[in-house]
Structure 1
């Protein structure tokens, strides 16, 4: 059995939104990298968008990272948004009820658009 591979890139937008772009698999072997990408600024950023377009798999360890990031963002009066969530991942988020807590957007551009009641 081979170890899962995950690549991460991230940047900060001009208005202070932390954008994390993932590619590969999120499982127990890659969650540390996933968590580190979300906490690259010394803690969870108050406003973060995660682009899942190239994620091919995520298990419960990735769900745990999302829950922690969402809780931290909300505690700081911020938000976490997900963009380009592939159907299998969107179904997983729906099964665990996370799509009721974290908003999923069809595109990165929509996720970055300021919302009046996000």
Structure 2
């Protein structure tokens, strides 16, 4: 059976048995989620934002009422700490909308 060679440049081995997926040229290459800002401070801010904004904004636009469980950055912050912490750039989404509708918008260049 032939060896898979196409993912070779996208996978980097880490200490232990963990594997990091690296997107070449990405601002977050080689960084942990904590190093990107998603640390305890973020978890507390996220929880408070979801308490204050409990419904998915994408579902609300289509007349559905769905509990949100993701705080999404409307405009991708790409490491910009000011944009990361700007709550005017946050929106509450359900996981389904975050993982489908929002990702499709970003892939089409429509994010933000």
TM-score range, shorter chain: under 0.3
Superposition TM-score, scaled by structure 2 size:
0.24
More strand per residue: 1 or 2? 1
Larger Rg over CA atoms: 2
Superposition TM-score, scaled by structure 1 size:
0.23
